Amino acid sequence: MNKRRFHAASAVLNDEMCVAGGMSGEVLSSVELFNPVVNIWTNIGLMKTKRWNHALVFYNGRLFTFGGSDGDVFGRMTRLNSMESYDPREGKFLQPMNEGRSGLSGLVHNNEIYAIGGFNLKSVECYNFRTNTWTKIRNMNKKRAGSCACVVNGKIYVIGG
């Protein structure tokens, strides 16, 4: 990558790997794209909000980044509820989540974005593109941060954390 980073988020964008935000001595807003065919990383823009410990998903030709923290580990650390949409032609803010979430899992399922858990959270909410709203849905059994989530046979599974 052009910038070293940890606690970043990644997604696949048109057969290329995208990494956004993270920490590298400071909280980052940069977004990079890796083309495996030519083995090159390219800076493709900046998020409006610096974030780490956030989620990044690709849906319908756009990247969506949400949650995370905007402060460093030793200073003020705000859990973010904001969500941004990124398209190489434009970036815009969308409806914020109901809760600030850092260390969450995110995924797309049935044309909705899911924000799952986060530090001290067992709640789950989903974003509806048609109504531009977040809705709280059923809680998980346990609080989870730093977990992974995926969809298998139509069911969402949350692993670890």
Low-confidence ranges of the chain (pLDDT < 70): 72-75, 88-93
The domain segmentation of the chain, as residue ranges, is 9-159
Class of domain 9-159: mainly beta
pLDDT of residue 5: 95
- Average pLDDT over the chain reads 91
- 124's CB contacts (< 8 A; 6+ apart) are 114, 115, 116, 117, 136, 137, 138, 139, 140
What is the model's pTM? Answer: 0.87
pLDDT of residue 86: 78
